[in-house]
Structure 1
Amino acid sequence: MPKLLTVWGRANSVNVMKVLWLLDELALPFDRIDAGGAFGRTRDADYAAMNPNATVPTLVMPHGYTLWESHAILRYLCRTQPGGNQFYPEAPEARADVERWMDWTLASLNEPMRVIFWTLVRTPEAERDMAACARAHEAAERLWRIVDAQLEGREHVAGGFSIADMAMGGFLHRWFALPVERPPMPRLEAWYARLQARPAYAKHVAVPLS
């Protein structure tokens, strides 16, 4: 049998989820090896040779090429695998729009959502910094309002369904699954419902928080 591409990373990592989601959308078979968090492995010498950052995911292609950083992996898979261009358009302005929202997810949305998630899901109650969590919640709510406004007249964040949605979709699920107050954002809620209807999102992303 031909060798499959491999994804190193635990399934409950929001960054691994993005990659698994795209692989399923592309109908690409793959192997996944648990790494990161309780599974360790990311500081072992063989893993460090692939990814010196000790982070997940790391993609290993059948021909031996390795790549880390989840958004770089998304772009690479779309450029190299059949069907990828439907999620990563060729037209310069359409592509720039997709990349803008991918970059914005990392530069702006990632940190407040990380603080809320780690505080309420992965930190024992007695050790939680609820003041920091409240500040992060305020920042996240402001940012989700930007997305809600962006979705006016659009079904997805960059127009058509794309890797911009995949980049942000894990954080979107956490926003609606976390025990936090959420002001009404009808367009954001409708977008979440559309993503939940996609089998690959339901399988890899819209899962219990852990």
Structure 2
Amino acid sequence: MKLLGRSSSINVRKVLWTCAELGLTPAHDETDTDIRALNPKGLVPVLVDGGLVLTESNTICRYLAAREGRHDLLPETPAARAQVESWMDWQASDLNTAWRGVFMGRVRNHPDFADPAVQDASIRDWTKQMRILEDRLSSTGAYAAGGDFTLADIVLALSTNRWERTPMDRPALPAIAAWMDRLSSRPGFSQHCRNGVP
């Protein structure tokens, strides 16, 4: 098994954290030199498992959990699995779309996102989305899909780490802070979610 993509990528780190939970240690190629040949979209990560080539980080995480039979991370029953997947899908669509303007403008210094109005709109949308997660975690009192840790928590925590580290004003979200503290004991959290910071 081989994983391609720089570990500085939020999406590569989702897969690395999932691998840590599963006790897997795929060969990791940080160079991205073969990405375009394996993924016409030109995006990381790419997982090669024998003859199988997979792209899209959340799909890779689901594949690995299913491959290892880890129904605690990705439940087998349709209703419970759908709860996990719905939060994973929300992370990849609504939540990650919200932060693009401010993150690209203030962290990546991309000229297309230099307009302060674009950044401010992004902050408002991102805050709105994070309040949805705050309300969900307040409701469950534990994890995103309910009482147990799942893949949904991995992908959402990576986005939350980006929320914590992007230079901007943000409201206090106590349920999210408590959840991130709970996650800190998980295998791979410090290395792959908190950028190596305990």
Is 2:3 the partner of 1:15? Answer: no
| CA shift in 2, pair 1:89/1:188, >3 Å | same
SS of residue matched to 2:2: strand
Pairwise CA distance, 1:124: 6.7
CA distance in 1, matches of 2:117, 2:165: 20
The answer for the alignment partner of 1:206 in structure 2 is: 194
Q: Which runs of 5+ in 2 are unaligned?
A: none
The one-letter code sitting in structure 2 at the alignment partner of 1:57 is: P
- The answer to whether the 8 Å contact 1:7/1:59 transfers is yes
Matching residue within 68, 76, 83 for 2:55: 68
The answer for the alignment partner of 1:87 in structure 2 is: 73
Pairwise CA distance, 1:64: 2.3
CA distance in 1, matches of 2:170, 2:75: 33
The answer for the alignment partner of 1:163 in structure 2 is: 151
Is 2:104 the partner of 1:118? Answer: yes
- The answer to whether the 8 Å contact 2:14/2:57 transfers is yes
| CA shift in 2, pair 1:70/1:120, >3 Å | same
| CA shift in 2, pair 1:208/1:123, >3 Å | farther
Pairwise CA distance, 1:123: 0.8
CA distance in 1, matches of 2:196, 2:104: 14
CA distance in 2, matches of 1:146, 1:21: 24
The answer for the alignment partner of 1:138 in structure 2 is: 124
The one-letter code sitting in structure 2 at the alignment partner of 1:138 is: R
| CA shift in 2, pair 1:147/1:193, >3 Å | same
The answer for the alignment partner of 1:147 in structure 2 is: 133
| CA shift in 2, pair 1:208/1:112, >3 Å | farther
The answer for the alignment partner of 2:45 in structure 1 is: 57
Aligned-pair Cα RMSD in Å: 1.9
Pairwise CA distance, 1:48: 3.0
Scaled by the length of structure 2, what TM-score is found?
0.91
Size of the aligned set, in residue pairs, is 194
The answer for the alignment partner of 2:21 in structure 1 is: 25
The one-letter code sitting in structure 2 at the alignment partner of 1:90 is: E
Q: Which runs of 5+ in 1 are unaligned?
A: none
Scaled by the length of structure 1, what TM-score is found?
0.86
CA distance in 2, matches of 1:47, 1:180: 33
